[in-house]
Amino acid sequence: MPFETTIIPTGFSEVTSRLHSLGPGRNAEREQIIDGVLTRLGEVLTQRVMYATPLGVTGSLRNTTYFRVSSTPDIVAGDTLYTLSIVQDAHHAGFMYRPIVVRGRRIGRRPPAKELEAWVQLKWGVTGSEIKSAAYKLAGSIAAKGTNPNHYPMRVLGNSQDILNEAANHLGTELVVHLTDI
């Protein structure tokens, strides 16, 4: 499962009543306004998350960042639930490595040395027959010391109150932010 930041506008009853007071057929206009604001917010937040994401060797975690806007009927409230999701779903060697970047790696867990070979080449300048040995030593060091967490998604959200408040004001509602890190 990918990392996801989901932003849900709430309290659209005021927006709905304002548009209904303008006459029939305003739901399409309302949906366009909401979609437009969430799309712009998604563009800005995606860029901020990409900029804050550690580059690593391949840049694949940064390069798999995207957003999606969706809507779902809320039968209970008789309205529509709109969501904006910022997603990072980079896979390497069959597993999601983003959680390791964000949470860090515990002491005692050795990463596969093979997966560190490109890193030691790029970061340490190791070449030729020394690559495997250097990667193995790095894996041992990571197992002994662990790695520090990098909580960049939380920093981005904390530093994005300006754009979140602007979007909420434009929509005339509140935004509820959920950070799902699976």
Among residues of the chain, what percentage have pLDDT more than 70? 75
Position 173 scores a pLDDT of 73
Closest CA to 167 of 48, 6, 7: 7
pTM equals 0.75
The 10s digit of each residue's pLDDT in 29-50 is 777 888 888 899 899 999 998 9
Q: Which CATH number fits domain 3-93+149-181: 2.60.40, 3.30.70, 1.10.3680, 1.10.3470?
A: 3.30.70
Angle at 145 (CA atoms; ends 143, 150), nearest 5 degrees: 100
Position 1 scores a pLDDT of 43
Strand partners, 87: 4, 66
Per-domain residue ranges of the chain: 3-93+149-181, 112-145
Task: List the single range of 79-93, 113-127, 137-151, 161-175 with lowest mean pLDDT.
Answer: 79-93
Q: Which residue would you say has higher pLDDT here, 94 or 104?
A: 104
Distance of CA 171 to the CA centre of its chain: 22
Position 132 scores a pLDDT of 93
